[in-house]
């Protein structure tokens, strides 16, 4: 299993470039089924995340697994949680403070969060399917670290999670270097397209069509 320790890819060195490339470019360049649910949205404007995934599954309406997962997480990991998309406040300021103290760097949760003003003040990146007030029980230990399916993507511990204003993707470590280099090429090509469009070119011609829409 890959992990932050044995990874070949230094995410810290490339984080700013990944934020600039963005999930839309990384996803298109990957050619992979690596999209998590489009229902996942940032809990505060400007939240962005590049980190190693620690997959977690909770019972609906129960957040004990999140407390346990923070204890088990390695610094630099982000929790990627299937909380059954239930509208409960599984996570808030208390868990954010605990996570930050342990070096956990973000949260992606198919479920609800609360205390978003305080989470934003702490600059802790959170992506959730809802903002929800309802509390949770603490009865079920859930599953921590096991591979997790989300849409067409399967998320394993140590996969690279990228999340921003456009969405959330998950890329296996051994594919990440190729995805980044293809993304750089794609971004360069789009910069050139933009230059030509601003000079009066048409996207119809740039994409290789004639005026009747034929290639
Ligand atoms: O208390 C909870 O279970 C969730 C929450 O609001 C917090 O972490 O602050
Ligand atoms: Mg709270």
pLDDT along the chain (215 residues), means of 10: 56 95 97 94 98 98 98 98 97 98 98 98 98 98 96 92 98 94 97 97 94 91
ipTM above 0.95, yes or no: yes
Contacting residues for 184 by C-beta, under 8 A, at least 6 apart: 21
Per-residue model confidence as pLDDT tens digits over 131-151: 999 999 999 999 999 999 987
- Tell which residue, 129, 107, 111, has the closest CA to residue 119: 107
The length of the chain, given as a count of residues = 215
Q: Which of 65, 99, 114, 130 to mutate to test the pocket of ligand 1 (most atoms within 8 A of CB)?
A: 114
Q: How far apart are CA 184 and CA 90, in angstroms?
A: 37
Per-residue model confidence as pLDDT tens digits over 22-49: 999 999 999 999 999 999 999 999 999 9
- Tell which residue, 67, 75, 44, 60, has the closest CA to residue 164: 44
Helices (H), 31-91: 64-72
Q: How far is the CA of 67 from the centre of ligand 1 (A)?
A: 10
What are the structural domains, with CATH classification, of the chain?
A: 11-188 (3.50.30.40)
Q: How far is the CA of 199 from the centre of ligand 1 (A)?
A: 53
Q: What is the pLDDT of residue 178?
A: 95
Helix axes of 11-30 and 173-198: crossing angle, nearest 10 degrees: 70
């Amino acid at each position: 299993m890959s992990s932050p320790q044995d990874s070949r890819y230094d995410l810290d060195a490339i984080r700013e470039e990944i934020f600039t490339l963005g999930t839309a470019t990384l996803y298109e360049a990957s050619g992979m089924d690596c999209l998590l649910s489009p229902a996942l949205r940032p809990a505060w404007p400007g939240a962005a995340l590049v980190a190693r995934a620690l997959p977690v599954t909770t019972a609906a309406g129960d957040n004990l697994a999140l407390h346990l997962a923070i204890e088990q997480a390695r610094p630099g990991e982000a929790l990627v949680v299937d909380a059954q998309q239930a509208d409960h406040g599984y996570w808030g300021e208390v868990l954010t403070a605990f996570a930050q103290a342990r070096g956990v760097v973000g949260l992606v949760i198919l479920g609800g969060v609360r205390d978003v003003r305080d989470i934003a003040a702490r600059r802790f990146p959170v992506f959730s399917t809802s903002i929800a007030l309802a509390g949770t029980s603490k009865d079920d230990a859930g599953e921590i670290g096991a591979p997790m399916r989300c849409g067409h993507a399967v998320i394993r511990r140590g996969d690279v999670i990228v999340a921003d204003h456009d969405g959330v993707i998950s890329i296996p470590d051994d594919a990440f270097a190729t995805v980044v280099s293809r993304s750089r090429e794609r971004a360069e090509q789009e910069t050139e397209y933009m230059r030509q469009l601003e000079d009066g070119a048409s996207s119809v011609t740039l994409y290789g069509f004639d005026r009747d829409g034929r290639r």
